[in-house]
Structure 1
């Protein structure tokens, strides 16, 4: 019996480095700094190296209007600070200056995008993007950096070392500088769960009241903590017009295994008041858990790949461009 959903997770599509970049936006650039490289061809006198041209273009990004794709993604307000954070790093500038620009465009663009996403979390305005949207952003930033002449894919070394290096190093100085802010921002999320587990009656009563106001059949669709509240509501009382429970990225099965659900002790079966239960989870989402193995015959799990690393994957289900999720949701609700 296990609620975990990622035992057989395969990262063949290469999003693993984004997992590392979420924790250290300069991960890929640091990795390049450890590799041997042929120096850029010596340019004629008074002509800058291609890496110096790239660095100058990057510095212009922090004072010019962001690329349109960046603004449309909701990152315009943090873009300049993200560029500065990457360029102020003690490793970044030497790496760029010493290498051919074409080799650096992709890693530099990804570092800027990752830093912008991290800064959006710090400012309590997180932006959730799937893998395709991340690719679009990297392409837009690459074009702004180097006229779109090179975009670059994740190198083999980055794919191989992403998880190991990120976990071993514990993050970058950038992460260290932001650690206190991130911890403070994360506290309300953990606090919400703790408050609910101790005083969640009001939340369940609110949901029940809204359900009773509806004359026809009801489908309860709930994400994360909402899925816990919806499950507990249906365990604790009869709501005959609720014909389906749909949880997305939720922790209900885990809390049951931990014997932490106030309304259902571990070892007890789901009561008949819980209707058909469909549970959608992304293996990349570390806050999403399977239910079929925990409640045999009572839960149907649906796996979805939002193509974005954690922690963004926890909210990426409902990203407006996430066609995969909405197609799956349509099938579940049909």
Structure 2
């Protein structure tokens, strides 16, 4: 018997040699007489950046260390933090104040109380001609405005910050922070449906700030001192901007292999088919990740042509996306909704539910199809679990059982 192992995405020679040695040793323990030749395709059919990454913005520019962030980096980081927690600036203002909570001298209204009163009085329904309403509609945020006003007005962080704002400077900070909180709440609620540029976002902040009694560009001195550096450290965008080139080139083998296969997978399928047909006799094929997609395509296309590959006893896919692609209608070999063609071999599909790149096959195909799912667990999170299959005895034992069952 012959067993072919077709590796997955992102694997290149050094990693393949290590992985294949491990897989072959585990299979030989269960099939001592099996012929297990390599089926390496990474160098020839894998993806690479043909122009050295020239398409990546800033990749070939000289940049300083990630710590040398630009003002634009800091602004982006601050809004990243606000989208995750729209009340974060108000919370800082409430906590930084050393003035005890209350309304100051009896009979004298605390300055910040006026901000709370104005926010409570802002109309949620505005005429279409109102400039703020027009901008909310243009940015796709209008339907969330009423809820955003209520969320900020009722927040304990806002109430506390207002109660502790004793002078004009403190009131100005509360006003600006409240306006930014409302806009951040709007953007977070709308998520990807928002159609809002940075300039439009800033205009919304200015409009709301003015309606709360502040100036177009109110102070945020206390907040900036605390949150400015923190935002750069805990948000990802500045780092992503700096490391984009290395991240993209580093991810090219893994992501690029999938994209290349989807666009130009013919040569890889031809190579896999030729490797299967290179020797006669009973054959078992095992595909990991993208290798499983290629095997499903090769075998389904051959069966659809009424020319199934001879001697094929079992297809085993491990951590494969083939079922998901078929559900999307994006599997090369099958039309959306089609079942497996006559002549397709017995299919064992092994998955770990923690593996975000692994999918179930049985629910995708009609009852009666010779497809079996088998769940394993490496007790590892993603992405480690995507490679951990090959250290699990249960994977090899289940394949061995399936081979015996196939006769």
- TM-score, length-scaled by structure 2: 0.37
TM-score, with normalisation over the residues of structure 1?
A: 0.45
Answer with 1 or 2: which has the greater Rg. Answer: 2
